[in-house]
Amino acid sequence: MGILEKISEIEKEIARTQKNKATEYHLGLLKAKLAKYRAQLLEPSKSASSKGEGFDVMKSGDARVALIGFPSVGKSTFLSLMTSTASEAASYEFTTLTCIPGVIEYKGANIQLLDLPGIIEGAAQGKGRGRQVIAVARTADVVIMMLDATKGEVQRSLLEKELESVGIRLNKHKPNIYFKPRKGGGVSFNSTVTLTQCSEKLVQLILHEYKIFNAEVLFREDCSPDEFIDVIVGNRVYMPCLYVYNKIDQISMEEVDRLARKPNSVVISCGMKLNLDYLLEMLWEYLALTCIYTKKRGQRPDFTDAIILRKGASVEHVGTSTKYSPQRVGLTHTMEHEDVIQIVKK
């Protein structure tokens, strides 16, 4: 039985197993096995050709955004509107066959936008170019999931499932679990909170499935078996995601209002160029970037060449900060957007 067949069998068994106290250990083991097989499936094939048009994209600019979605949802049109890059656009599916990079210039930052080939259902099983698409998506700082507003929530749920199965966690934080394998002493299990989803026995069963018999485990929050498996595997990517519903000019105002109120969601129309400015504002917020300007002593600040940093960056990265009125601060001072920096010798 191949890996795909094993994955299918486990998924079917999980689906038909009723979730209760009596089956939690069995379900935990099944999920651990499923994660192992999926990891094996996504390992690069030794026999695969090293040639691949359009997928060796060098990371450039101040941030990278992956634009993913099903074919013909408007990704190519969006790329053309936001950047100077032309991506083939048509009303039929599978027009984008390679990864096309573009650059969004916004608030002094250069944001690399990658128009990835249309992800199809089953990409996580290596169908089409799905594996290559997902590999590039894992390197992004933010994912823009482009969805067709006329097709409801079907596309969103399928894409979330695909990305979840390959270790991409959208709008989630890394589980607060301390895990460290050791050479001996068995499994040391502790928690600082009351656990309702995992028990010591279940943790040990999952560890044994991964051939881990000696480890320190400390739960600092009430995590699920899936989250504990993520910690063991250790290659999960946690990134913010903006759900962008395109083609809102083809649905009712009531439906537009409903989609716009969903968490992490923006509604747009590439065809009519509606709400694109707000999307850029949201993207800037999700990238958590800060624009800093430099100033030489005795001269005016240079507002033509900004330094782009992540929010929360301190003066230690750039020097002494002044905003509105000059002030001398320490290295731990947190930078604010549009601060002006002057380096002072002691």
- Positive or negative, the CA dihedral 114, 116, 119, 125 is negative
Sequence-ordered list of residues with C-beta below 8 angstroms from that of 10, at least 6 positions apart, any chain = 30, 33, 34, 37
Beta bridge partners of 66: 114, 143
Domain for residue 49, yes or no?
no
CB 306 within 8 A of CB 294: no
| 203 and 88 in a common domain | no
- CA 327 from centre of chain: 38
pLDDT at position 263, please? Answer: 94
- Shared domain for 206 and 265, answered yes or no, is no
Domain range for 74: 63-172+238-286
Flag whether 310 is in a domain: yes
How many other CB atoms are found less than 10 A from the CB of residue 127? Answer: 12
In a domain? residue 82: yes
The confidence score (pLDDT) of residue 322 equals 44
Same domain, 137 and 274: yes
> What pLDDT, on the 0 to 100 scale, is given for residue 337?
61
Give yes or no for a contact between 260 and 267, defined as CB atoms under 8 angstroms apart: yes
Q: Do residue 281 and residue 293 come from a single domain?
A: no
123 closest CA partner among 111, 135, 115, 113:
135
DSSP letter for 102, please.
E
Domain-embedded: residue 271: yes
Indicate if the alpha-carbon torsion angle 38, 43, 47, 51 is positive or negative.
positive
Residue 51: CA count within 13 A, CB half-sphere: 0
CATH code: domain of residue 324: 3.10.20.30
Would you state the pLDDT for residue 60?
A: 74
Q: Do residues 8 and 132 both lie within one domain?
A: no
Closest by Cα among 310, 172, 171, 311 to 241: 171
The reply to whether 130 and 147 lie within a common domain is yes
- Least Cα distance to 115 among 144, 154, 150, 157 occurs for 144
Residues 270 and 300 in one domain: no
Total number of domains in the chain: 4
Is residue 252 situated within a structural domain?
A: yes
50 within some domain: no
Alpha-carbon torsion angle 241, 72, 120, 262, nearest 10 = 30
pLDDT for res 127: 56
- 316: exposed, middle or buried (Cβ count in 10 Å: 0-12, 13-18, 19+): exposed
Residues 8 and 106 in one domain: no
Strands (E), the chain: 63-68, 100-106, 109-115, 142-148, 168-170, 177-181, 187-191, 215-219, 237-239, 241-246, 265-267, 289-294, 302-310, 320-322, 340-342
Residues 245 and 127 in one domain: yes
Task: State whether 68 and 131 are in the same domain.
Answer: yes
The tens place of each residue's pLDDT in the chain, 346 residues long, gives 677 778 888 888 888 888 877 788 888 888 888 888 777 766 655 554 444 444 556 677 888 998 888 878 888 888 888 886 555 444 334 344 456 678 888 888 888 888 776 554 555 555 555 566 677 778 889 999 999 999 878 889 888 888 888 788 999 999 999 999 999 999 999 999 999 998 999 999 999 989 999 999 999 999 999 999 999 988 889 999 999 999 999 999 999 999 999 999 999 999 899 999 999 999 999 998 887 777 777 777 777 777 777 776 666 555 544 444 455 655 666 666 656 666 565 5
Residues 105 and 161 in one domain: yes
Question: Reduced to 3 states, what is the DSSP secondary structure of residue 109?
Answer: strand
Identify whether residues 112 and 183 lie together within a single domain: no
Does residue 318 lie within any of the structural domains? yes
Specify if 111 maps to a domain.
yes
